[in-house]
A and B are shown apart, each in its own frame.
Chain A
Amino acid sequence: MSQHQEKARIIRFEQLSEDNVRLTLQAPLIAAAATPGHFVMIRAGNGQDPLLRRPFSLHQASSNGQIQIYFRIVGRGTDMLAHCRVGEVLDVFGPLGRGYRIDRQAPACLVGGGLGIAPLLFLAKRICQSGRDHHRDLVILGGRSSGDVEPLVDDFRQFGLSLQCATDDGSFGRQGLVTDVLKAEQLDPGTVVYACGPEPMLARVHRICVDRGLSCQVSIESVMACGMGACLGCNVDAAGGGYLHVCIDGPVFNAEDLVWNS
């Protein structure tokens, strides 16, 4: 995989909900090299505070040279990015990490919670581009309320995958968790579950997959400084002992390779 440091112009700004923002950037080198599950490191501003880049999974990468990131405003860095406007240029570094390993034959079940929906749109596109019959594939999206889910539904629907939604407050889709939906689904044996979301959600997804004998890949988050294996700051406990590094061993892991606390 080739990595690039690009000056990427913002070509579209979307405030998808009160807290959630989607940026579309012109970054042709990164877009061409990216696969689903890869991430990029983006500088918020050009100063020394905040100092570090912020990691974002790729929400979309297109053959027209565009990439998208989708994020929640959680701190100063994301707040600065949320105040960028169309035409501004961001320093973007990527694509980084190991993405989802798409099993072309197996039915796919994509499970996204909250901002964990971000990498699944790119994944859904690639799965559908494989030209297979995807009537057995399923996407399950969830969030706190409709603002986390509803604005993204059409983007997933365009690929023709069947879609189930759930929100904590019941304001969109059924009330409950994505894992409630997952549990209720009769998935074909051999289905590969591709998940991203908060750790408690991923732990539950992993548990369900273990119980049903399904293969499960998860994309996880970590604090990180460099994104490329130099700082060694993004370690997580490995199931086999020792540590894995989210930036180079992940961010997508086989769920069974990680330690789950819940």
Chain B
Amino acid sequence: MEFLKEHGSYPDLRVNIGSLVLQNPVMTASGTFGYAREFEPLVNLHRLGAVIVKGISLAPRQGNPPQRIVETACGMLNAIGLQNVGVDRFLSEKMPYLRGLDVPVIVNILGDTVEEYRQLTERLVGVDGIAAIEVNISCPNVKKGGVAFGADPQMARAVTEAVKTAADVPVMVKLSPNVSDITILARAVEDGGADSVSLINTLIGMAIDLRRRKPVLANVIGGLSGPAIKPVALRMVYQVAGAVSIPVIGIGGIDSAEDALEFILAGASAVQIGTANFINPRVSEEVVEGIAAYVREHDLQSIRELIGALEA
């Protein structure tokens, strides 16, 4: 520790996500951080553990009609509908900037069929500057595809195998909480070869406009995120960490270092910050600083000592 203190890398916040080494456990969640460039004026991107970019599909997607979002108690519902520029424009327009960043870039992918996931992964093979792939099998907003993969262990495993077979970088699979037992899905994707699992994606919810007697969202249902879902996410991370041997990445309502540390105690090797980016664009960097302060104050050798260190 004295060596580390003298040489400036103390506190040691490095974590391993399989073969991927992150300088700290704080990532930005897909769909909440654009393609990173949007946040450049506000965040020192190189201070983050990794950035996960907006989910990419083979073809561009226009997304859902308005209204797409609505605030709820301590949270928000969204039904963006996977709007994205498609893999071609992602590679030509977004990747040149991203690969110039001094931070690992994780590309989130989504598709309607196993074959689409495979083709998408093949398009990313050999692309310079991609540290890992995160597979979205859990977005609740597209009627075919998303929900089925995320809720069906066989399909989840098949998608994971297809991506893993094609990929030349580590594969993280993002799990849906909209299942009766998330550990079954976690084990299925582990069996399919996933290098890590990230959880949770949004919880399916709904909001009604009483005055108009209509759903608030054009899509009727949407994904609930924000502090409201943190207890559910913590419980699921705790359960999954006990059920699989691959690293678990915690997501769900994190907006402070304390929140992040709770997920790490529950068994997460790293965390993703999502909705909080909308409220405080600097939150991810502040969480890194807060975790560093905690590690210093508690005289830990490394943040890794805290992973799964929940006292029963």
Contacts and interface: CB of A to CB of B under 8 A. Distances in A.
A206 to B, nearest CB: 18
A5 B42 contact: yes
B83 interface: yes
A237 interface: yes
Given A51-B227, A52-B279, A243-B63, A225 B69 contact: yes
B39 A230 contact: yes
B279 A49 contact: no
A5 B73 CA distance: 25
A230 B275 CA distance: 10
Contacts of A233: 68-69, 78, 80
A231 B80 contact: yes
Interface string B70-91: 1101111010100100000000
A90 to B, nearest CB: 13
B255 A48 contact: yes
Given A43-B279, A228-B38, A230-B33, A48 B63 contact: no
In which size bucket is the chain B interface?
A: 20 to 34
**Secondary structure dominating the interface of B:** loop
Contacts of A234: 66, 68-69
A234 B31 CA distance: 14
A184 B78 CA distance: 44
B251 to A, nearest CB: 16
A228 B281 contact: yes
Interface string B33-55: 11000110110000000000000
B32 A230 contact: yes
A223 B278 CA distance: 13
B267 interface: no
Given A230-B33, A232-B83, A52 B278 contact: yes
A229 B278 CA distance: 10
Given A230-B277, A231-B32, A242-B62, A223 B74 contact: no
A219 to B, nearest CB: 17
A222 B74 CA distance: 20
A242 B227 CA distance: 32
28 contacts: A3-B42, A5-B42, A5-B281, A5-B282, A48-B74, A48-B226, A48-B227, A49-B74, A51-B75, A52-B279, A223-B68, A223-B71, A224-B69, A225-B275, A226-B277, A226-B281, A228-B34, A228-B281, A229-B38, A230-B32, A230-B33, A230-B38, A230-B278, A231-B78, A231-B80, A232-B63, A232-B80, A243-B65
Interface of B: 31-34, 38-39, 41-42, 62-63, 65-71, 73-76, 78, 80, 83, 226-227, 255, 275, 277-282
Given A226-B277, A230-B32, A237-B66, 7 more contacts: A5-B280, A223-B68, A231-B69, A232-B68, A232-B80, A235-B68, A243-B62
